Amino acid sequence: MPDVIACPDPTCGAPANIVDRWTWGSTDGPVEHVKTGCERGHWFTPTVDSLSPQPAAPGARPHPTRAVALPAPA
Ligand SMILES: [Zn+2]
């Protein structure tokens, strides 16, 4: 996990610093959380599992949609 990731806000995508990390217990076992603050002032405390382990890439779309071409149903 890098110290700088893309902002978890899918409409933002600015570089966000991981300023804290901790683990909470749950019924499924410990869950690791991080606290991120992006340069646009968004603060999130997502779980590590919810983050895509990609470093921030300014200009890149943080959540590219996968276009899947399926044949139309007959
Ligand atoms: Zn942001």
Model's pTM, two decimal places?
0.63
pLDDT tens figures, 38-62: 999 999 999 988 886 555 556 555 5
Q: Is the pLDDT of residue 34 over 60?
A: yes
Query: What pLDDT shows up at residue 25?
Result: 92
Contacts of 70 (CB under 8 A, 6+ apart): none
Query: What pLDDT shows up at residue 10?
Result: 87
Q: Which residue has the higher pLDDT, 72 or 43?
A: 43
Centroid of ligand 1 to alpha carbon of 43 (angstroms) = 7
Centroid of ligand 1 to alpha carbon of 21 (angstroms) = 18
Centroid of ligand 1 to alpha carbon of 70 (angstroms) = 34
Domain borders along the chain are: 4-50
Query: What pLDDT shows up at residue 55?
Result: 56
Centroid of ligand 1 to alpha carbon of 23 (angstroms) = 23
Centroid of ligand 1 to alpha carbon of 72 (angstroms) = 37
At 2, is the secondary structure helix, strand, or coil?
coil
